[in-house]
Amino acid sequence: RFGRLGRDGGLLSLAAPWYPLVVRAPHAWAFEVPHRVRLQSDDGAVLLGDRAFPEGRAAGTHAGPYVPAAVAASFHARREPVRGTTLVLRSTERPASAPPPEVRGEEGLIDLASVDVAGLVREVADDVLTSARAFGVPVPERIVLQPIPSRTELAATAPGVVLVSDRLFQIFPIDQTLEFHRRALRRALFAHLARPLSARADAPGDRGWATDLRAVALVDLDAARRRTGAQTPRDLLQAFSFHPAVDQLLYAPQIAFEDAYFAAIEERDPFRDDPVRARRPLSRGRRILEMGRDALAPEAFRRWVAMLVNARRSAADALAEAAPERSSRLGSWLAATGAPVNYRLGEIRSERLPGGRHRHVVEVLREGADRIEPVEVRVHDTEGHEVTVVWEAPGERGEVVAVTPGPLGGVRIDPRHRLPQSPALADGHPRRDDGTDLPWRPPILNGFLFNVFVTEGDFVGLVDFALRRRYDLEHTIGLRLERTRAFTGGTLRYAHGVGPKVHTNRRVGTLTAGLSFDRLHEGFADAGLGGWRGQLTLAGSLNTVAFALDPREGFWAAASLTGGLTYRDDDRVGWTVRGGVRGGAVLPLGLVNALVFVVGGGFSAGDALPSELQSLGGSRRLRGFESGEHLGRGAVYGIVEHRWSAFRDLAMNLAHLVWVREIQLAAFAGAGVAFDTVDRGPDGQPRADEAVFAADVGLGVRIHYEYGGVQPGVISLDVGLPLTRADDLVYDETGTAVRRRNPVGFYVGFDQYF
């Protein structure tokens, strides 16, 4: 597994409790006890605490809650002197290093496939140690950093060592993105320095949260000393939010290290591997500090932070000294992480006051736990004036009063997004019900597809834009431009989300109505007649798959009904009614295998051109057959695919643009029947078969990668072999063989097959 405990890439990581914990009676929190540990590796090296044992035999006594360890064939140590302290970075492979600036020629070239992690760590440590000395925090002579295969924590601490993920700084190397990784490492280094402060000042039961609180206070003081401001992903990515991956990243991120990028205050801490944190869910340092920042007067807050850093008092006593009237809130702050809350607007009343001003009474509703915290309510009027008032009281509801020069323009709860709100308590996105109005997002490139049919010498593609309001999961206006083998055209549609949430950016069901205008290709299915078509489509779908790029479980189903009129190239007008259904399910087989089942079908009624008929072939059906092969008035098909994650947790860096993370192999088979077909025989006439059976098999590869080291993507390669093709010749109306069909179907796509 990935994390503090697990084996991956030749490293056995034991960086969390891996043996029975010693609890000294009568105090259940007294984990700081001596541990006598002996560890032996018959063929490899051992790390025990902050010491290395190259011969594979380790023994010693360590005081602390547990003793971290690691075993590998060998360890390399990179030592970096920084501000009078020696940084020791241990890893299973020799760390990459950038050549010095004075080196010229070929030896001075930077290897784009390698990241100088040690050099970046040294830069961060230089800032941290400079700030620590400036604030009077004791600095040790040596700090040991140990990489582990973690996908949740970019950096953390264990007794005696700083833990860093083997993905640290594996991200697009511009300063704004690297800053997220630097920030996580700064916090871990400050936590390492703060551990002795908490051991000196705080009770055993408080040392876990107090150490983290001191660490985040030092992080903020360090940022103030360097005069830098933290940027959020929204700040960095707003200019690119038209991209569907960025939109998903902003509203429902599905990435490794999500907390490092997005949870500035929430900090869910899902594993709590440290035994001090494992006993009960407590808020981590960032949330405690920010709740104090909101509740305390500025001078009281500065005094509290100063006392946290000098550690002459415990964190609790420092709060009581700095703000006696607020010290009783600490218990609520600590319990906040286990107390989910959703805020929403209630009734709003406005009245005109004598003199022309306006008085607004806003009701705020609290759902879930009775978490007492300052809730900001921003009121603006139609003349552009803003007033922010605060509700800070227990109970399920409260009222605030604001007075503005002009009539009410709008209201928003928590305008700075400082209060964590639970998606489980809200019907939609938890911030959907916080305001009277929602701004529009930039147009979202909701879909982009470019698939090459290598064997057919053709391509299909689409560009799909969607307009949605921020946090709105119900209403979407879309524009789709599309080219397939059969047609080229565009669709304007409205989609309404229904049902429970899959995640905070999509509901499980969608109802859609659309108008489209297309050019039907005259060469499709080797027919010579095309036309112009207008049509109306009604559709509905269900989809429980949360991670579409690599679904491991879930099901989906969709149905559509389309009616249209076509003005043909022979000056005739025809009508068609078409319907279709498609559904599937993913069944996991362990952690690295999955079976995917897909079934579907459709019908065409009316005076249909070949491009309006149902096909069994193509990239979304039987991949061994061409897109225009086995056309008929009706078709049904079924497909089964087995996916095997053959190469996992790769770290193939391609010029820092993409990191290849996983390669899946797929084997598939499909079968279907086309009814009332129009396939031509040697006489140039449609074959007499009322039903044609088709079957294929094939192999595929799915290359999973990350844009810039963050956002997931996939490239699909599929090769299908037809099993039932009786004749590979294509005939025209005169019975002349015009070409041979391709012996296999070869498809390249930038999405999953399904």
How would you write 29-48 as a 3-class SS string? CCCCEEEEEEEECCCCEEEE
CA 617, CA 625: separation in Å to the nearest integer? 5
> In the 8-state DSSP scheme, what is residue 439?
P
Q: Using the predicted structure, report yes or no on whether residue 161 has a pLDDT greater than 90.
A: yes
Pairing state of beta strands 51-53 and 745-749?
Answer: unpaired
Range 315-342 average pLDDT: 89
CB of 260 closer than 8 Å to CB of 154: yes
Q: What's residue 453's pLDDT?
A: 65
**501-538 tens-digit pLDDT:** 998 888 999 999 999 999 988 877 656 678 899 999 99
Buried b (16+ CB within 10 A) or exposed e, 576-603: bebbbebbbbbeeeeeeebebebbbbbb
Instruction: Return the closest-CA partner of residue 603 out of 674, 514, 537, 538.
Output: 674
CB of 565 closer than 8 Å to CB of 535: yes
Per-residue three-class SS string for 723-742: CCCCCCEEECCCCCEEEECC
In the three-class reduction of DSSP (H, G, I as helix; E, B as strand; rest coil), residue 445 is classed as strand
Range 585-594 average pLDDT: 93
CB of 308 closer than 8 Å to CB of 214: yes
**400-445 tens-digit pLDDT:** 999 999 999 999 999 988 888 888 899 889 999 999 988 888 777 6
Name every residue whose Cβ is closer than 8 Å to that of residue 257 and which is 6 or more positions away in sequence. Answer: 151, 152, 153, 154, 165, 167, 184
Pairing state of beta strands 652-654 and 658-677?
Answer: antiparallel
Q: What's residue 655's pLDDT?
A: 79
**262-307 tens-digit pLDDT:** 666 777 776 666 777 777 778 889 889 988 988 899 999 999 999 9
The dihedral of CA 454, 456, 457, 462: what is its sign?
A: negative
Structure-token pair, residue 709:
């080291």
Range 684-694 average pLDDT: 75
> In the 8-state DSSP scheme, what is residue 440?
B
Q: Using the predicted structure, report yes or no on whether residue 373 has a pLDDT greater than 70.
A: yes
Least confident of 56-65, 259-268, 315-324, 496-505: 259-268
**3-28 tens-digit pLDDT:** 888 888 789 999 988 877 766 665 56
The model's confidence at residue 656, banded by pLDDT at 50, 70 and 90, is: confident
**173-202 tens-digit pLDDT:** 888 788 889 999 999 999 999 999 998 999
Residues of the chain with pLDDT > 70, as a percent, come to 87
In the three-class reduction of DSSP (H, G, I as helix; E, B as strand; rest coil), residue 430 is classed as coil
Q: Using the predicted structure, report yes or no on whether residue 471 has a pLDDT greater than 70.
A: yes
Instruction: Return the closest-CA partner of residue 188 out of 207, 211, 166.
Output: 211
DSSP string, 289-313: HHHHHHHS-HHHHHHHHHHHHH-SS
Q: Using the predicted structure, report yes or no on whether residue 113 has a pLDDT greater than 70.
A: no
350 sits in which H/E element? strand 341-352
Residues paired with 162 in a beta bridge: 145, 157
Instruction: Return the closest-CA partner of residue 65 out of 160, 140, 193, 144.
Output: 160
Q: Using the predicted structure, report yes or no on whether residue 101 has a pLDDT greater than 80.
A: no
**217-249 tens-digit pLDDT:** 999 999 888 876 555 555 555 555 555 555 655
Range 339-344 average pLDDT: 91
CA 746, CA 750: separation in Å to the nearest integer? 14
The model's confidence at residue 316, banded by pLDDT at 50, 70 and 90, is: very high
Angle between helices 285-295 and 298-310 (to 10 degrees): 150
Residue with tokens 């500025």: 298
The model's confidence at residue 84, banded by pLDDT at 50, 70 and 90, is: very high
Query: Is the pLDDT higher at 447 or at 174?
Result: 174
Q: Using the predicted structure, report yes or no on whether residue 555 has a pLDDT greater than 90.
A: yes
The model's confidence at residue 685, banded by pLDDT at 50, 70 and 90, is: low
> In the 8-state DSSP scheme, what is residue 720?
E
Residue with tokens 């790029």: 549
CB of 428 closer than 8 Å to CB of 503: no
- Amino acid identity of residue 663, one-letter, is I
In the three-class reduction of DSSP (H, G, I as helix; E, B as strand; rest coil), residue 361 is classed as strand
